[in-house]
Structure 1
Amino acid sequence: MDAEVVLQEEDMEGSWTLLSWLASCLMVFGGALPYVPQYQEIQRSSNSEGFSTRVCLVLLIANILRIFFWIGKQFELTLLLQSVVMIITMFAMLHLCCTVQNTNRVSTKQHRLSDLDFRYFWKWSVFEDYLLFCFGFTVLCAVVTLLLLDSAVFVETLGSLAVMFEAMLGLPQLLQNFHNRSTKGMSVKMVLLWTAGDIFKTTYFVMNESPAQFWVCGLVQILIDVAILLQVLFYSQDTRVKLG
């Protein structure tokens, strides 16, 4: 009888380990999955107007800061890997947007980081300028972090800044949709993927007792996702009424 109980406990422990491993994999790659259909849509239509590159700016800053937060306060390795995957994903989106915009550009005038024109900040024509900006930002963060790494206040502030930027992830898209009075290039399916991903992520943070900054960030993201979903439903209905 005791042997059977031990076997059952081992089976349950094995199942829980597998579930935990799957959840970790989903956390690492899940955040990037919603961008796959958007990447394919931009590639298919050769039109990037429906996607705000400000989303890339917000996510790149948030995840670079999160990596330095991890250096000061080691939380789950899964969340560190998630940041690396998201940074790669955002660079892929930026590269595609630059390629599409350069192909469709009528004017030969290009905007470069070296122009130091704030009006065209994050609207540069060449992908390498985005890489250069992120490299400079990373070096700056590295220097400041090395100088203040022993300060608990600095480390916690760094974490709060990282998740604050991430919490505002959907805000540029929300504002762009409102400004354009359109959600062209977006679909209910895509936004539902975003929302499901943020709900899963927030649940993961709570269950794994991640630093409080993470689950607060998740809750804010879910609220913004719902607002974008309502925009998609409203503007798509409005378009159907006009066509009718």
Structure 2
Amino acid sequence: MDAEGLLQEDNGGSWTLLSLSASSLMVFGGALPYVPQFQEIQRSSNTEGFSTRVCLVLLIANILRIFFWIGKQFELTLLLQSVVMILTMFAMLHLCCSIQNTNRVSTKQHRLTDLSFEYFWKWSAFEDYLLFCFGFTVLCAVVTLLLLDSVVFVETLGSLAVMFEAMLGVPQLLQNFHNSSTKGMSVKMVLLWTAGDVFKTTYFVLNDSPAQFWVCGSVQILIDVSILLQVLFYSQNTRTKLG
């Protein structure tokens, strides 16, 4: 083999390695921001700074994305990413339930069977979150099987999936606003959100992913930046009050 052939083979091997690295980062990178938040909750034994509705948004988004993949088989990488993200959100909810039940002063337990919107997604038992997601998945499965041949339905499913994912940071943004503070929220988590959203949006564009994906990524970046601005604003307010 001549020098040119060796060079082409080397470049091909480097590109394959880079592609595999990018795919691995896409699969597991979305879960990484929750590691510092998980550690922060464990350390402080307090869940007030983290909005568990972030988990709700991501669970719905990724369940819908899995059914979107069934109707329109895009990159396998994005399907695997959804599976990893669902498992990550269950891990976060399990930790939050454990901490809240340990710190609970009142004996009142809020359950899924209460059927009260006031306590929706504020349940005391981790099993209730599992049951809700199971029911939602079964519902999606039935509807998808009935309408799988409809292009309009499949595209709508994809749009709903990315719309929910684009709203990922909104519950955290609203909780920070309600608390007038970002205390208890991991800033590292939001920085990793931002870095991850920039990376994946670039990935979507370069890989000609469905338009819904890169639009979602762009919206997420804007929300991430808004949360980071909250961190600066509320920290300045705290310093002003102390001064």
Q: TM-score, normalised by structure 1?
A: 0.98
Pairing 1:54-133 to 2, within 5 Å after superposition: 54-133=53-132
Matched, 1:203 2:179: no
- Is 1:165 matched up with 2:192? no
CA drift at 1:55: 0.3
Q: CA deviation at 1:186?
A: 2.5
- Contact 2:201–2:218 at 8 Å: present in 1 too? yes
User: Using the alignment, how far apart are the partners of 2:220 and 2:199 within structure 1?
Assistant: 12
1:6 Cα shift? 1.0
Letter in 1 for 2:151: A
User: Is 1:225 aligned to 2:235, yes or no?
Assistant: no
Q: Which amino acid letter does the alignment assign opposite residue 122 of structure 1?
A: W
- For residues 140-179 of structure 1, the aligned pairs below 5 Å read 140-179=139-178
Aligned twin of 2:37: 38
Distance 1:54 1:155 in 2: 26
SS at match of 1:89: helix
Query: Does structure 2 conserve the Cα–Cα contact (< 8 Å) formed by 1:63 and 1:83?
Result: yes
Q: Distance in 2 between matches of 1:215 and 1:190?
A: 21
Q: Secondary structure at the match of 2:2?
A: helix
5+ long unaligned stretches in structure 1: none
| Correspondence 1:2-21 to 2 at 5 A | 3-21=2-20
CA contact (8 A) 2:197 2:220 kept: yes
Write out per-residue CA displacement over residues 144-167 of structure 1, whole angstroms, 9 at most, x where no aligned residue: 000000001100000000000000
CA contact (8 A) 1:62 1:165 kept: yes
Give the Cα–Cα distance (whole angstroms) in 2 for the partners of residues 151 and 183 of structure 1. Answer: 44
- SS of 1:136's equivalent? helix
Check the 8 A contact 1:56/1:94 in 2, yes or no. yes
CA RMSD of aligned residues (A): 0.9
Unaligned runs of 5+ in 2: none
1:115 is displaced (CA, Å) by: 1.3
Q: How many Å separate the matches in 1 of 2:242 and 2:196?
A: 33
For 2:102 and 2:88, how far apart are their aligned partners in 1? 21
Counterpart AA for 1:136: G
Deviation at 1:85, TM superposition (A): 0.3
